[in-house]
Amino acid sequence: MAITATIEVNQQDLLTSLKAFCTKLLEQDAISAILVPQRLPMKSMVMPTLVTEADHLDGVDPLSPAFPMNGAKVLAKLTRRPSGGKIAAIMRPCEIRAFIELVKLKQARTEDVVLIGMDCLGAYGNTDYFRFAGEDAEAATRRFYESVLAGKGAALDGVDLTTACQACEAPFPTSADIAIGLHGVDTGRHLLVLGQTPAGDDLLQQMGLPSSEVPTERQAIMDQLRTSREKYRDDMFAATAAATDNIDKLNTYLANCVNCYNCRVACPVCYCKECVFVTDVFNHDPSQYLRWAKRKGAVKMPTDTVFYHLTRLTHMSTACVGCGQCSNACPNDIPVMELFRMVAHNTQRAFAYEAGNSVDEKPPLSEFKEDEFQEVVGL
Amino acid sequence: MQTKIGKALVIGAGISGIRAALDLAEFGYGVTLIERSPHIGGILSQLDYQFPTDRCGMCKMLPLVERDAGSQFCLRKGLFHDNIDIKLSTELASVEGEPGDFKVTLRQEPNPVDAARCIGCGKCVDVCPVTVADEFNAGLTTRKAIYLPVPHTIPNPYRIDTAACTQCGACQEVCPTEAIRLVDEGRKDFNILVVDDELIVRDSLKEWLEEEGGFHVSMAESGQEALQHLKTETCHLMLLDIKMPGMDGVEVLEKAKELFPDLPVVMMTAYATVETAVEAMKIGARDYLIKPFDTDALIPKVIQIYQTLSTPPGPELEVGAIVMSGGTSYYNPADGKDTYSYGSLPDVVTSLEFERLFSGTGPNGGQLLRPSDGRPIRRIAWLQCVGSRDMQSNADFCSNICCMYAIKEANVARERAARAGTELETSIYYMDMRTFGKSFQRYRDRSEASGVAFKRGRVHSVEPDLQANDLQLRWADIDGNVAVDHVDLVVLSVGQRPAEGTQALTETLGIGLNPWGFPQTEPFSLTRTERDGIVAAGSFAGLKDISESVTQASAAALAASTTIHNAGGSIGLKDQPEAIYADVSRETPRILVTVCTCSEAVTQGVDQKALTHHLKSDPAVDRVEFLDGTCTAEGWDKLVALVKQHRPNRLLIGACLPYVYARKLKALGTEVGLDPRLMEVVDIRTPVFQAAREDAPEGTEPSAVTVQRLLAMAVARLRRISPAPVATVPVFQQTLVVGGGIAGMTAALAIADHGFTVDLVEKDKALGGNLQWLSKTIDGQDIRAFLEDTRNRVTGHPQINLHLDTRVIAAFGQAGTFYSTLEDGDGNAVQVNHGATILATGGHEAATTAYGFGTSPRIVTQQNLEAQLHDGTLDPTQLHTVAMIQCVDSREEPRNYCSRVCCSTSLKHAQALKAANPSLRIVVFYRDMMSYGFMESYFTEARKSGITFIPYTLDRRPAVAADGTDGDRVTVSGYEPIIGQPVEMTADLVVLATGIVPELPGELADAYGVARDEDNFFQEAESKWRPVDALKEGVFACGICQAPRNIHESIATAEAAAERALRILGRERLPSGTIVARIHESLCSLCERCVEACPYGARSLDPENERIVVNPAMCQGCGACAATCPNNAAYIEGFDAEQLMDVIDAALN
């Protein structure tokens, strides 16, 4: 039986309650460490931190609008092989989805981890966040979640959530072992805790949190949020499609690309040890550049930029979880996320596949079905 | 490659001949594969679609072992293998000698078109004035006397149908390469003596034979004159009238034969004296012609005789064994008495004609149009059993294949129509729908669900309905109701007949025929004949579908192989001296490009200087040379000289017909020390052919551009090639056979007889499996004696390690290297290493609770009855009524398959009971009587002997009720559709046919990496083309764990599995192909997607060393792994990403 519990909250002080929750987690025999976003001591930034001692939990801040990286890759590094202990990881829903994709790609394991997700309030882009947070990151987090939870929106001080977050129709940790609910919950007094898998239930059982009920209005509020996000997303797809529906437009769309490959480094599911674009395959012979230039009289340098993005779309769009880190990482403001999400949405729909939904669903290219896409393959 | 000294002759290059030839060749024997038609493929060259995939799939038969020895492309296009010599238009002339040492003489029909010169331009066809029916399209279209026998083969030179050709010479004049040498000078010197008392006959024959045939003709008006003439002048052929005054033809024949025993004589006769002509043939006449003469038939006949006589026999071969795989022919409804108006109504066609009608290479390009008026076809009826199960056409047998091909044709036609956006009504009119093969029943059910109508009954007539402009079918259903249906097209599902020439061939080989005219095989064998070393493969021995033909072709190959082995043919010749190639991997590429200039199409508009300049802009190109006639001896010598002079480290030849060069390149490589993989021939002629024609469409790319691009692409490909050594894997040259039933024992013996050690594992304490409770076959053969004999051979065989009361408890491994742990009843474990695995785990009679089984001792299964009959506990004379119920829990979900043996078992039991007690009443309740093949005659016999057969359907099953003391009184009730009444009887015995369930434990299948199908039978790689192989190379299955079968068929699968295993066992190391998957370990992220993607199980994770490994012998180079891997960590040798991108780039330039 799935466990429904609560975490007490005193006067809207969610951070203190979450810290208490983390402390309790660490007290459990089964848990050796927790991976949780924490504010850095000297800087207004929040980073995933691996904590083994409760007295290092002062900066716990999973509600910050900072999202400097998708933590899935970090968690993959921690779980790739048995580590001798179990980690409780508190992550955003898109991080959990990316982690599940990495598990399917054999880059991570679920055996030594309990995934704890929170209803995601969204995040700002890196530069926006720095502007917003100023010197006091903790105060910034409080202002942010109070505004969002009070229904006043996330747009504060002239900054707003990233496009990826605004287009995110899945800000709920449905594939986590344990979900921490904010929507439809009286967060002034408590947070909702849900066991969603046997592993999650086991842990909650041991923690012995006061049991509770799912508030009746929660589902409606989640549905409403999803609907409005989907509307935003579909408008974004339409605009992106119009901007990229032929090769000339696509060239223009990606014209700013300088082959820095930041988007690929930031992408949580791009898992190759070494990307094909940095191997010899693309280390062309000098005479090749001359031939290309001769063919049309001129060739834009660097070459292979559109090719790079198309290749990444081919390789990874079935695994894209929509976290938006690619756009966050782009130094030249290419709307990479918009293009990637649009294509990913279509490829995943074509294969009836939802990236990050469950470790039990095989990635499309791992399965051979004789009778599919007959209209494409012509058989 | 390593070859063995043994050689085999395979007669007939249809699917069975190809399978047998490949099996023997893959084991290392040399094979001569002869085919009397001018192309390989047999009937399958005309069939585009096969169920259950409704596609072709023939390529799945291509060699998997040492792939580089053979071609790896569409098998319908052609077959090339180092160990196989294919001779087309060739027949067996004579054979002498004994098993292991036959001397055979072949006869090859000459072709006036020189295949080496013909470039396939087709100009000859344009000018040929002779039009005849095209047999490739079953006569639905026409062709010229010079023609392509099939549109798709490689090579595909034109042929001249010498029987139809008038020798007008038009083709010879237009041929641009002087490939045609038409005029046959020999005919002028071929003297034909025409003997007839009627002047007009003599004169007209002289005129026809001289003018149309080109022969020399003499004449005689009487017998005396003829004999006189023979003494004075050399005659090569005599055409002799029978009815002449004075000395009649037969007398002349006798006297002439005394004088000139070798003189060929053809009798001429009026219809009234045909019998005399037939008699004349017994005393030496070669043939006869019927007056009045049909010139269209007469001239070809004489030409044919001329050719046979003038073609010198040869070549002669020495072979160890002969495989007969000449296929079958098909019933011609025109031979019957107005079979459904076939011949008079153009919209009544045979199934073969229909295959051509809806083929993409057929008369309408695949569109379904009525032959009569070209209107689209909307409704089609298939009539089953035309020329099968029909005493009137002398066919007391079931042809086995027609039910399934009719369903397939209906399915494919419907799908075709659906794609064109139209609806097609398809109905099959049948007596019994014989879905007795593996997966057939579900295929039928699927088809029925998708809209194919199955109408049980007999069609009485097909007539045109002039008003509706369609055909009207009058038919009676199983209840006796007469109905009339209207359709656009009627397809006659014609049955099989012995192949043309079967009698002559079997006579030459000294083999007897069975009562239906097919070669007679030995007891318990479907392939061995009365003569050791001469075996029958596939449908030549009668009534097989593709899957069984392929299985039995492998079985025949095994029998042939055994004979060759026993005669010492397995002794391996030393490998050819290993060619030593220079290592050029560290040199910068220096490519020599040669461009052939013999074709006008290529030279036209090609500026040699510009081309050279363009190619040399790539620093990898060292020289560009232009050569005339590269393929000629002279041209080739020049090329070799250039290579020796300039010592390039890569060679690119721009010419035509690349496949011609394979052997030449190998020789050149050995001579100059350059790996042939660094040489490439690119066809620059075919692609520019269109452009060179005067009528080339506007916008066709100029030849010069195309040639330049093709060469640049090849340069890009060659530049990057760096051949890696061909990998091999070690082989444990011994086999594990799991299961000691008849299949397992047969497989074990077959392999052990080739000198390889076999470990035979049986879980019981005795060998024999199901044969232990069986007594006799339906045709009276003694199963117990046969079992005893087989057991003795197994237990006494020095190469067989027998493990009774033993199971396989663990196993792993791959082709060449398997490791299995066996444990006996006492718990002692032993490890066995083996190179191949054969699963023969069998099955058993299904248990049931249906029809009151268990409630009365009078309700028994077939197995119970067999035992009771054998041990005498049942006395048939004490019985009054016996009811048999077929398909108990079978052919419906969840056990929706036919067990194949139950109908014949019921027939066998009914026959035995009836023989013991002729007054016994026997009633058989059945759904579709599966008395396939020659078994049909027992069904006919059973009905004649008074056994009642009552058909039932799933919604109206019979019922069985037992009451009285201990259920002693048993009542059976059912519904008899013919009288339209329920029937009820008190039965002394109710026999339930519960069918077969397999015994293939899931853990065992998993251990060897093979799959089970939904009914837990062994899942073969492909039901038609690889019926006994697992998809994973090295594991095979036979007997009833693979599919339900009778004893003969199980033995055939066992022989086939053994033959397939021998391909692996026959060598110490298993070579891979050159095109094989590899790994850049430094790039690999170990995501294992390639492992999942590999369909052959060739990839695995080596967890200890954290890397992915490829078994190169199992890898087939398909590239699924490379396509799945995002960063080229998985790649295919010879298809590097850099290389392919360069090629694409060159193509776009």
3-state secondary structure B386-406: ECCCECCCCECCCCCCHHHHH
Rounded CA-CA distance B601/B689 in Å is: 6
B315 prior amide bond cis, ω within 30: yes
Inside any domain, residue B31: yes
Give the pLDDT confidence of B121-176 residue by residue, as tens digits: 788 999 999 999 999 999 899 999 999 988 877 777 789 988 888 888 899 999 88
If you average pLDDT over residues B463-478, what whole number do you get?
94
Q: Are B156 and B192 contained in the same domain?
A: no
A287 touches chain B (CB under 8 A): yes
Candidates A105, A274, A368; nearest CB to B1083: A274
Contact A105 B1087 (CB under 8 A): yes
If you average pLDDT over residues B696-708, what whole number do you get?
82
Residue B440 has pLDDT above 90, yes or no: yes
- In the prediction, which pLDDT does A22 show? 96
Chain B interface test: which of A366, A369, A371 (most B C-beta within 10 Å): A366
CB atoms within 10 A of CB B1103: 8
Residue B966 has pLDDT above 90, yes or no: no
Q: Structure tokens of B196?
A: 């007839």
Give the pLDDT confidence of B901-955 residue by residue, as tens digits: 999 999 999 999 999 999 999 999 999 999 999 999 999 999 999 999 999 999 9
Q: Structure tokens of B96?
A: 């002498």
Rounded CA-CA distance A181/A174 in Å is: 11
Q: Structure tokens of B866?
A: 């067999």
The last residue of a domain, from among B494, B513, B530: B494
What residues have CB less than 8 Å from B66, skipping those under 6 apart? B1, B26, B1070, B1071, B1073
Calculate helix-pair angle for B703-719, B1137-1148, nearest 10 degrees: 160
Q: Are B488 and B370 in contact (CB under 8 A)?
A: yes
Residue B1108 dihedral angles phi and psi, to the nearest 5°: -90, 135
CATH of the domain at B1099: 3.30.70.20
Distance from CA of B657 to the nearest CA of A (A): 29
Q: Are B337 and B482 contained in the same domain?
A: yes
DSSP-assigned letter for residue B293: P
- In the prediction, which pLDDT does A378 show? 63
CATH of the domain at B374: 3.50.50.60
Distance from CA of B1009 to the nearest CA of A (A): 17
- In the prediction, which pLDDT does A332 show? 96
Candidates A279, A287, A366; nearest CB to B1092: A366
Residue B1024 dihedral angles phi and psi, to the nearest 5°: -95, -50
What residues have CB less than 8 Å from B443, skipping those under 6 apart? B51, B52, B404, B407, B435
Inside any domain, residue B825: yes
Inside any domain, residue B180: no
The percentage of residues in chain B with a pLDDT greater than 90, rounded to a whole number, is 65
Q: Are B164 and B233 contained in the same domain?
A: no
Q: Are B466 and B373 in contact (CB under 8 A)?
A: no
Range of the domain at B604: 591-719
The percentage of residues in chain A with a pLDDT greater than 90, rounded to a whole number, is 88
Q: Are B277 and B357 contained in the same domain?
A: no
B1087 touches chain A (CB under 8 A): yes
Contact B1127 A276 (CB under 8 A): yes
Candidates A271, A279, A281; nearest CB to B1087: A271
The last residue of a domain, from among B699, B719, B739: B719
- In the prediction, which pLDDT does A214 show? 93
Q: Are B276 and B250 in contact (CB under 8 A)?
A: yes
What residues have CB less than 8 Å from B1139, skipping those under 6 apart? B716, B717, B719, B720, B721
Q: Are B712 and B610 contained in the same domain?
A: yes
Q: How many domains does chain B have?
A: 8
In angstroms, the Cα distances linking B836 to A97, B151, B733, B833, B1022 are: 44, 40, 8, 9, 19
Inside any domain, residue B297: yes
Q: Are B356 and B140 in contact (CB under 8 A)?
A: yes
Q: Are B608 and B694 contained in the same domain?
A: yes
* Strand runs labelled E in B64-188: 84-87, 90-98, 101-108, 131-133, 142-144, 146-147, 159-160
Q: Are B446 and B550 contained in the same domain?
A: no
Mean of pLDDT over chain B = 91
Residue B272 has pLDDT above 80, yes or no: no
Inside any domain, residue B1015: yes
Q: Structure tokens of B356?
A: 């051509």
Contact A105 B1082 (CB under 8 A): no
Contact A288 B1124 (CB under 8 A): no
Give the pLDDT confidence of B983-1027 residue by residue, as tens digits: 999 999 999 999 999 999 999 999 999 999 999 999 999 999 999
Give the pLDDT confidence of B1044-1057 residue by residue, as tens digits: 999 999 999 999 99
Rounded CA-CA distance A262/A309 in Å is: 12
- In the prediction, which pLDDT does B118 show? 79
Residue A1 has pLDDT above 70, yes or no: no
Closest to B732 measured CA to CA, from B830, B794, B815 = B815
Q: Are B1011 and B934 contained in the same domain?
A: no
Helix extents (H) in B727-826 = 742-752, 783-795
Inside any domain, residue B576: no
Inside any domain, residue B585: no
- In the prediction, which pLDDT does B601 show? 67
Inside any domain, residue B227: yes
Q: Are B917 and B1024 in contact (CB under 8 A)?
A: no
Work out the pLDDT band at B65, boundaries 50, 70, 90: confident
Beta bridge partner(s), residue B497: B329
Rounded CA-CA distance B946/A307 in Å is: 79
Work out the pLDDT band at B2, boundaries 50, 70, 90: low
Rounded CA-CA distance B1107/A124 in Å is: 41
Candidates B1082, B1124, B1149; nearest CB to A295: B1149
Residue of A nearest to B1139 (CA): A281
Rounded CA-CA distance A368/A8 in Å is: 50
Residues 244-273 of A with CB under 8 A from B: 271-273
Rg (CA), chain B: 33
Question: Is residue B346 classed as helix, strand or coil in its secondary structure?
Answer: coil
B422 touches chain A (CB under 8 A): no
Residues 47-106 of A with CB under 8 A from B: 105-106
- In the prediction, which pLDDT does B693 show? 66
CATH of the domain at B687: 3.40.50
Q: Are B688 and B619 contained in the same domain?
A: yes
- In the prediction, which pLDDT does B805 show? 97
Residue A104 has pLDDT above 60, yes or no: yes
Candidates B1085, B1129, B1136; nearest CB to A107: B1085
Distance from CA of A324 to the nearest CA of B (A): 21
What residues have CB less than 8 Å from B241, skipping those under 6 apart? B195, B196, B197, B198, B201, B249, B267, B268, B269
Distance of CA B20 to the CA centre of its chain: 9
Q: Are B979 and B1015 contained in the same domain?
A: no
ipTM of this complex: 0.91
The model's pTM is 0.84
Rounded CA-CA distance B561/B702 in Å is: 54
Residue A370 has pLDDT above 80, yes or no: no
Q: Are B987 and B878 in contact (CB under 8 A)?
A: no
Q: Structure tokens of B739?
A: 């299961």
* Pairs of residues, one from chain A and one from chain B, whose beta carbons lie less than 8 Å apart: 62
- Comparing B742 with B70, the larger pLDDT belongs to B742
DSSP-assigned letter for residue B659: G
Q: Are B343 and B423 contained in the same domain?
A: yes
- Comparing A235 with A11, the larger pLDDT belongs to A235
- In the prediction, which pLDDT does A182 show? 95
A215 touches chain B (CB under 8 A): no
Q: Are B167 and B67 contained in the same domain?
A: no
